[in-house]
Amino acid sequence: MNAPVLTPEQTQYYREQGYLLHKKPLFSPEKMSALTGIFEEQLALKGSKLSDELDTPHFRDERLLDYLLSDEVLDLVEPIIGPNIGLWSSHFICKDPYVGRATPWHEDSAYWNGRLSAFDKIVTVWLAIDRSWKENGCMRVIPGTHDNGFSDYEDIDNRTNLFATQIKNVDESQAVYFELEPGECSLHDSRIIHGAAANKSPYRRCGYTMRYFSTEALVIPEKNPGFKVWLARGKNVAGSAFVNA
């Protein structure tokens, strides 16, 4: 038997704080190199889209399922949400040098409200494709805010921001910055308050988000038209309509 990827102490830290940094390579160098190549292909084909708008790329390129459904990722996720795991979504989030838009303070769960029956066991694995640090707009979170319920939002200008709304009155002095080398990753709860500053540096900042939910939650069909989810591991507890079930 292999040793667990996360220690009990790390799992407990995640439950209390709503996030965890995994400062180890997630994939082999060869596998990471191939993933970076897929991203560069997607970037070259994006047309008029902005570099931060490459959402659900696995719908277009099923090679990404080799990563999204891999043991390397699922072994990291299972201690957090349990053995019955659904693949919710993925997203290449790339902030170009100098002009990369800010990601306003938000909770992922607020944008998915009504699409699933529960949000207490949804985790995002944020994999660094480029070096991600404070200078080029790495992700940041407000620890412990995953237990606060849905926040109040206000409208903002989405020409300079990834979204058109942001959470009101966030105390940025409490922020923890997720500085990662290429191939390292972080994990965060879908309900935690997080965001990222604009990239005003000469260095690109790209990450690949891989999002998973416990199949105890039901994906509500009428709220997810044309959206595809996969059974990644274990049993389909709530009876969601998985592509591969």
Domain layout of the chain by residue ranges: 8-233
Q: What is the model's pLDDT at position 1?
A: 45
Looking at this protein, which amino acid is placed at residue 239?
G
* Residues 229, 245: Cα–Cα separation, whole Å: 10
Binning the chain into helix, strand and coil, the percentages to the nearest 5 are 25, 30, 45
Q: What is the model's pLDDT at position 2?
A: 57
φ, ψ for residue 221, nearest 5 deg: -55, -45
The pLDDT tens digits for 36-54 are 999 999 988 887 777 767 8
- Return the CATH architecture of domain 8-233: Sandwich (2.60)
**DSSP character string of 70-101:** -HHHHHHHHHHH-S-EEEEEEEEEEE-TTTBP
- Residue-averaged pLDDT of the chain: 94
The pLDDT tens digits for 109-136 are 999 999 999 999 999 999 999 999 999 9
Answer whether residue 169 shows pLDDT above 50: yes
Q: What is the model's pLDDT at position 3?
A: 63
Which tokens hold the place of 104? 């306003």
